[in-house]
A and B are shown apart, each in its own frame.
Chain A
Amino acid sequence: MTETPLPDTIADLLGVGGFLGEAISMLLAAAIVGTIMLTMTAFAGPWAKRKITASFTDRISVNRIGPWGLGTIIVDAVRLLSKELIIPENVDRPAYDLAPIVLAGSAILAFAVIPMGNGIHLADPEVGLVFVFAIASIASLGLLMGGYSSNNKYSLLGGLRAVAQNIAYEIPLVLTAASVVLFTGSLQMSEIVAIQQNTTLATIAGVRIPAWFAFVNPFAFVLFLVANLAEVGRNPFDTPEAPTEIVAGYQTEYSSAYFVLFYLGEFVHIFLGGAIIATLFLGGPGGPFLPGFVWFTIKIWAVYIFTQWCRSAIPRVRIDQLIGIGWKGMLVLSFANLVLTAAILGVTGL
């Protein structure tokens, strides 16, 4: 199931070649993927968040501007961007300015290697999975930069919490992903998707159940889902922001466009988390009848709704409890998962 990457498709369509042609088609492809992702995260994401949260909490939410209140997001964007960009005294300038860009940029960059189906796939390096995790973890650097450079104690606490949390949950996250790699024997994203789609787990009443890793190893799936919640900082792990405790954590001092970037960065991160889960455990763009891209979108949104559900219904754990769960619970479980998977694979020789 190796599809032609999007840049090559575009290059063929335009009939351009050579270094310049490649560069142009690369940029065009990146623009397409970026637009798709930003529409989903910046436009539909916040709107859906409001609607989903509202239905969880017995409210109606936005419904005045545009159909189903969709226009509110445009109005909100204009409102936020037209606000004064307040930069407090004594902030650490380059770091303060870079932080929102690093956060938003790292999340969008990671989408470069995610196969979204129907050939929407920017690049397919052999180390795709490692690339995703490496890029995604840069986000915690952005959070720390923002928190530390803001010259605000709440921001500092938020930034430190973000780093403590990301370190504690990144390791279980990567270890659990490694247990998937044990099955596939490849770090290439397209390969991981292909193996899930092409292997048959069982055939029930003539319906072929593909070997999605969520079915093959549900334990790893749950571990990954929980670690991902911590990674994107949503309840019960939203301690870095913790609005009732440390005001807004690392983004306390950010306003206007910078705030939009932070906000956007977080949303893209939630969707990136969904994309990784979809790719690693839910067969990526695979699924019956509908086109691959539609399936992929459905899966991302399923994960997104799950995070919003948690956010509405589950209390936040305390920071010491959070670190405790990460290092004493998740880490041990993910090691156990990795070792057991390796042992079973070794014995059965799959």
Chain B
Amino acid sequence: MSTQKEEPETPATVEEGVDVSEIEALIGEHVVDREDHVNAPGFVIRADAVQDVLRALKEEAGFDHLSCLTAEEHEDRFESIYHLRKYDEPTQELSVIVPTSREEPISESAEPVFRTADWHEREAFDLVGVEYDDHPNLERILLPDTWNGHPLGRDYNQDKPQIVTFEENKNPLEDDHRAAGDSDTMFLNIGPHHPATHGVLHVETVLDGEQVADVNPDIGYLHRCEEQMAQNGTYRHQIMPYPDRWDYGPGGILNEWSYARAAEDLADIDVPEYAQVLRTMGAELCRIAAHMLALGTFCLDIYGDFTAIFMYAMRDREVVQNLLEDLTGQRMMFNYLRLGGVVWDVPEPREEYFENVRDFLDELPERLDEYHDLITSNEIFQARTVDTGYLDPETAKNYGVTGPVARASGIDYDVRRDDPYGYYEELDWDVVTDDGGDNYSRLLVRMREVEQSARIIEQCVDLLEDWPEDERNIQSNVPRTLKPEPGKEVYRTVEGAKGELGIYIRADGTDKPGRFKIRSPCFCNLSALEEMSTGEYIPDLVATLGSLDVILGEVDR
């Protein structure tokens, strides 16, 4: 099995299932041109028809998931690419490309159709400089308001430092007493340094007594130019270490896989089956570690202080962490995947490693039972979490919510199953969903996903153990320098620990990507916070934030 996809020959046969002629009939009047991306057919449309096109695609063709929005600047134009897919069938993909002139980069906003476009368009404006007409609040989202220029634009001078004195810089907390006046509400800054934000997140909250009247997450404190750093690295070796640093939760191998998948599709690289099994096992170990951390910190928010359940979760995560360290040589920044394979085989002696993994898996059900005793069956815990932070499936889809958060709202969507990669298709496991949509469901889904991950790992260990010794090929032949042909574009997603983690790469003929865009699941999930916590109490807001399990490194990138 390989992740390689057939190179498209004619537009009509690009992807499994997308009926291009039908789409053309639907939005034909707005289509200016056609393009082909490796993953999906692309329709170039006029900049003033974005809402019409997306609405038609969403409501009539069923493309209800705006997975990502990539903006980029070409020599002669700006481009916004809307990556659309269906929650029911994510292999049905479409790219809607909206070019605008460089002189007047104004494009119609998609926000009225997809709520998730709100933040995505703000980011595109912030980093690339495309302006979106009809956007409710087109402000910078990642960079400070005082920033000059758009760093991913072509005219931007990367070498000129931007020094803003402390006095000049707009203090994000300065309107501390906003809404005081004669209103009955109180404005409260939660963060950027606050015990419950799990990183540096600033939540602007308006309180009515103890109840949350309005909430607005202010992100960007941990922005580390990850996209640009990837654009300055060569495909072959220099990009792979970065994904580890997005979700340091640790979603390491899961994140690496997103880049590996996109780049392997772009450069037509085969991955040996044995390496796929290794990847699958490593990724699921990471998922367990990440979910354990999510569980521990969520309980930290509910219980307060570093209580028993947090330490128990850490203790069990430590076992996984040791297994990952044995496999990859690193505790967090694994850098384990390579294009076309992985870097090491299972450590020698193999039997001992497999035994360690099996020991962990054997103990896991008992641990999970203990967690259920301590957490999910605790009445106070239920009183705190059931029916708080409710997210209904329609709103979730509108905000592009994915991962355990979406599955806890009853959306049966898992990239591992719906758009298979790696070795998942050959293995026996289930996608966990729950209809509650509340904080309790989200925790439950994560705990059940740990069980499923354990099932996957168990099967992988069996496979690896019986693999004939002369067929243990961990790396296919990949050229020392990769130079995908210019103009080739690909958008690929994998199921990260927090949800759908996507990578868009446009090749420009060199050994570095022309544009590298990260679709972060945390970014989209966090944008739904407002819907989930308005009208509830502060403790519920904190719990909801915890149940979203955002890693700010991945939100801000």
Contacts and interface: CB of A to CB of B under 8 A. Distances in A.
Contacts, number: 81
A244 B196 contact: yes
B188 A319 contact: no
B381 A318 contact: no
Contacts of A51: none
A47 B380 CA distance: 29
Interface string B358-397: 0000000000000000100010110110000000000000
Among B188, B308, B315, chain A packs the most CB atoms within 10 A around the CB of: B308
B188 A318 contact: no
Nearest to A153: B188
A157 B210 contact: yes
Interface in B275-330: 299-308, 310-312, 315
A317 interface: yes
A89 interface: no
A58 B210 CA distance: 35
Contacts of B537: 318-320
Interface residues of B, number: 31
A314 B303 contact: yes
A12 interface: no
Interface stretch (B331-339, B472-480, B538-546): B538-546
A317 B384 CA distance: 7
Contacts of B299: 315
Interface string A37-60: 000000000000000000011110
B315 A58 contact: yes
A318 B305 CA distance: 15
B303 A235 contact: yes
Contact of A236 (B188, B301, B380): B380
A244 B308 contact: no
A90 to B, nearest CB: 12
Contacts of A154: 188
Nearest to A309: B308
Contact of B539 (A59, A242, A312): A242
A168 to B, nearest CB: 14
A332 interface: no
Contacts of B302: 315-316
A247 interface: yes
A57 B539 contact: no
Nearest to B380: A315
B509 interface: no
B195 interface: yes
Given A57-B312, A317-B384, A321-B383, A153 B186 contact: yes
Given A244-B195, A244-B196, A321-B383, A235 B304 contact: yes
Enumerate the 9 nearest inter-chain pairs by beta-carbon distance, A residue then B residue, closest first: A57-B311, A244-B196, A57-B308, A318-B539, A312-B308, A315-B381, A315-B302, A315-B303, A315-B380
Interface of B: 186, 188, 194-196, 210, 299-308, 310-312, 315, 374, 378, 380-381, 383-384, 537-540, 542
Given A242-B539, A319-B210, 17 more contacts: A57-B306, A57-B308, A57-B310, A235-B304, A241-B304, A243-B304, A244-B196, A244-B300, A244-B305, A245-B542, A312-B308, A313-B307, A315-B384, A316-B384, A317-B380, A319-B539, A321-B383
Interface of A: 56-59, 153-154, 157, 235-236, 238, 241-247, 311-321
20 contacts: A56-B308, A57-B306, A57-B307, A57-B311, A242-B539, A244-B195, A244-B542, A245-B538, A245-B539, A245-B542, A246-B538, A312-B308, A313-B374, A315-B378, A316-B380, A317-B383, A317-B384, A318-B383, A318-B539, A319-B210
